[in-house]
Chains A and B, each alone.
Chain A
Amino acid sequence: MTTPTVQDRAETSRRESRTAAAAAAKRRERAEGWSRRAPLLPALLFVIVCTQIPFLLTIWYSLRSRNLLRPEGEEFVGLQNFADIFVDSTFRTAALNSIIITLGCVFAALILGLILALLLDRKFPGRGVARTLLITPFLIMPVAGAMLWSISMFNPTYGLVNWLIGLVGFDPVDWTSQYPVLSIIVALVWQWTPFMMLLLLAGLQSQQKDVLEAAQMDGAGWWKTFRYVTLPHMRFYMELAVLLGAIYVVNTFDHIYLMTAGGPGTESANLPYYIYQRAFLGFDIGQSAAMGVVTVVATIAISLLALRLIFRSINEKVQS
């Protein structure tokens, strides 16, 4: 072993200081990372605790035969609950109703919303007032809106709708029991059309005026301008409106609970309502949890589409 020369020693110390510097840099980087993360953590933890833990429990319940009416009989049943719900015809009706109500409401509201947005996208006296009146249905408490429709509008004896159709000679109809799903859709469309209108109106107003003027100068009529300039521009807004609307409407509960209670029988129950019924009126936790899991998986399909779209819009904005 030779004694280290001065040079060697200098070399080691340099190396040491370099590793020390690297470690310090790493430490600083880590500290930096944590100082960036710190403001995010409280919100992140809060959301995880409130949503992920209950959902994990739902999955746990879905694998067990828990029924509050039979507290002794809880055991692990594997996928039995899932097998049961797929042969449950009420579950299929509810799933179908979920689809019918969501699609019916979203597309009717989208078309009405587009028409209203086009009507409002021009200057006329009292435009602000007209817009204010049009968005009001969306601001009415949904519980109040549902009761307004089921009682004041659709009541077979003194409802406004029967009075109106009576004026043109139709017999009174017991709307919520004869056409329960249609009644629910009408009330929902009334509530969600303003939502669609607001999003689409924002889209129309974000069009560049010079492009529209150029189209007009080139002699394109209203329809051609709409078809080849406005509609392509509106595609993003329409997709967004459909997907956001679908995410909200697929979870409809208030209207069904208050207008038809899923009836007559279970004819107009959608998935959220049926799951609620099984859980809180049937006390069948295992089954309702399994249905909850299935609903979540199905919802994720639409959600992913919606998310991709929202992310696209954000990234485009960041780039521009």
Chain B
Amino acid sequence: MSKILTTLAWFAAFIFFAPVLWMVMTSFKQEAEAASSPPTFFFEPTLDQYRAIFSSEAGSHFLNSFIATTVSTLLVLVLAIPAAYALSIRPVKRTQDALFFFISTKMLPIVAVIMPIYVIAGNIRMLDNLALLIILYTAMNLPIAIWMMRSFFLEVPGEVLEAASVDGAPLLMTMRRVLIPMVAPGIAATALICVIFAWNEFFFALNLTAAEAATVPIYLMSTMTSEGLFLAQLSAASVLASLPVVIAGWIAQKQLVRGLSMGAVK
């Protein structure tokens, strides 16, 4: 019985991973082998597709995505850590209302606000500008980050804070010396979630960027212009585009759960 269950688990894992495996395999094929019928399972692997991508202007899109992701994530942390502090350790009066407000914005369908954002951005000449994406990604991730950081702050034992305040250490020093080190894993987990969502974001990038500020998802889409013809290259681009988040997610599987449930599940 136990053997059957183990086999089943492995079989399921294989089924779910198979499309990814296929994508990786296709990325090492020549175009003719990539779109063959029946599918080609045995082939001589080539790095041609990756070479082609590295010699194209894909780099600028990766750079755009990298900047938008890192800057927005840093901004989120700078804003979310004090906010979470004010909703947990030294709470404001209407903590529950504030929490409710933040999370309710996450449930606002983005499509309902895209038009005004587009019009405003057009008026202040911010279309096709990375700064606009950075601001929007910050707003998009801030509520999740506040909730997550709050759940980590709530775990800091009360005695630690009392001891720090008896010492008469000023607030900022307490924060830097005591609190931040204690919630460092939480900060890392929060950053991971923000990075995943910002790196993968497609809708804002599609509507608000053009040649200048286009990010990786837009670049990926643009390689699809003539479907099938460049399947191997598209697969290689997909692998490269997904790699950062896949590796980060593999490393931080535990934090993933907590982030996705906004701190409700540990």
Q: Which residues of A contact B228 (CB under 8 A)?
A: 151, 155, 158
Q: Mark B229-266, 1 if CB is under 8 A from A, else 0.
A: 00100110010011001101110010011001110111
A43 to B87, CA, bound (A): 12
CB distance from A44 to the nearest CB of B (A): 7
What are the residues of chain B within 8 A of A285 when measuring CB–CB?
A: 115, 119
CB-based contact A251/B111 at 8 Å: yes
Taken residue by residue from 181 to 198, chain A's Cβ proximity to chain B (1 for < 8 Å, 0 otherwise) reads as 000000000100111001
In this complex, what residue of A is CB-closest to B145? A43
| Interface-facing stretch out of B54-62, B158-166, B183-191, B215-223 | B215-223
Q: How many residues of chain A get a CB closer than 8 Å to chain B's CBs?
A: 102
Number of interface residues of B (CB under 8 A): 99
A36-B91, A163-B38 known; A295 and B111 CB under 8 Å? yes
Tell me the smallest distance from the CB of B176 to a CB of chain A, in Å. 14
Please state if A311 and B245 are interface contacts (CB–CB under 8 Å).
no
Q: A151-B234, A237-B265 are in contact. Are A141 and B109 (CB under 8 A)?
A: no
Q: Smallest Cβ distance from A156 to chain B, in angstroms?
A: 10
**Residues of chain A within 8 A of B106, CB atoms compared:** 247
Q: Given contacts A142-B202, A247-B106, A292-B109, are A43 and B238 in contact (CB under 8 A)?
A: no
Residues of the A chain whose Cβ atoms lie less than 8 Å from the Cβ of B242? 139-141, 144
Closest chain B residue to A153, Cβ basis:
B19
Q: Are A141 and B245 in contact (CB under 8 A)?
A: yes
Q: B261 CB to closest chain A CB, in angstroms?
A: 6
Residue from B19, B119, B151, B203 in contact with A137 in the complex, judged by beta carbons closer than 8 Å: B19
Look across to chain B and name the residue whose beta carbon is closest to the beta carbon of A126. Answer: B10
Please state if A199 and B260 are interface contacts (CB–CB under 8 Å).
yes
A residues near B111, Cβ cutoff 8 Å: 251, 253, 271-272, 275-276, 292, 295
User: Which chain B residue shows the least CB distance to A244?
Assistant: B261
CA gap between A67 and B99 in the complex, in Å: 37
B220–chain A nearest beta-carbon distance, Å: 5
A199 to B261, CA, bound (A): 8
Question: Is there contact, CB below 8 Å, between A44 and B83?
Answer: yes
B189 to chain A, nearest CB (A): 13
Q: Are A134 and B261 neighbours in the complex by a CB distance under 8 Å?
A: no
Contact with B along A49-60 (1 / 0, CB 8 A): 011111101100
Are B23 and A39 neighbours in the complex by a CB distance under 8 Å?
no
Selected contact of A147 from candidates B22, B86, B238, B245, CB within 8 Å = B238
Q: Quick check: is A313 within 8 A (CB to CB) of the other chain?
A: yes
Give Cα A141–Cα B146 distance, bound, in whole angstroms: 24
Q: Which of A115, A140, A288 has the most CB of B within 10 A?
A: A140
- Could you tell me the distance in whole angstroms from the C-beta of A27 to the nearest C-beta in chain B? 17
- Interface of A (DSSP majority class): helix
Q: Is A63 an interface residue (CB 8 A)?
A: no
Q: Do A134 and B102 touch across chains, with their CB atoms under 8 A apart?
A: no
Tell me if B14 counts as interface (CB < 8 A to partner A): yes
B10 neighbours in A (Cβ, 8 Å): 126, 130
- A253 & B203 in contact (Cβ 8 Å cutoff): yes
What is the CA–CA distance of A165 and B246 in the complex, to the nearest angstrom? 30
Instruction: Flag the segment in A15-23, A84-92, A117-125, A212-220 that touches B.
Output: A117-125
> Which residues of chain A come closer than 8 Å to B231, judged between CB atoms?
151-152
Indicate if the CB atoms of A280 and B105 lie closer than 8 Å.
no
What B residues does A10 contact at CB under 8 A? none
Distance in Å: Cβ of A86 to nearest Cβ of chain B? 17
Name A residues whose Cβ lies closer than 8 Å to a Cβ of B.
Answer: 33, 36-40, 42-44, 46-47, 50-55, 57-58, 61, 115-116, 119-120, 122, 124-127, 129-144, 147-149, 151-153, 155, 157-158, 160, 163, 166, 190, 193-195, 198-199, 201-203, 206, 237, 240, 244, 247, 250-251, 253-254, 257-258, 271-272, 275-276, 279-280, 285, 288-289, 292-293, 295-296, 299-300, 302-303, 306-307, 310-311, 313-314, 317-318
Enumerate 29 A-B pairs (CB-CB under 8 Å) in ascending A order. Answer: A33-B93, A39-B82, A39-B83, A42-B82, A43-B142, A43-B146, A47-B142, A50-B135, A54-B116, A58-B116, A119-B12, A124-B9, A127-B9, A131-B13, A133-B17, A140-B242, A144-B238, A148-B22, A148-B235, A190-B19, A198-B256, A198-B257, A247-B107, A258-B224, A271-B109, A289-B115, A299-B107, A299-B108, A306-B107
Apart from A160-B22, A289-B115, A310-B264, 15 more pairs, CB < 8 Å: A37-B92, A40-B87, A47-B101, A50-B136, A54-B113, A54-B116, A58-B113, A134-B16, A136-B20, A139-B246, A158-B228, A198-B256, A199-B260, A240-B265, A279-B118
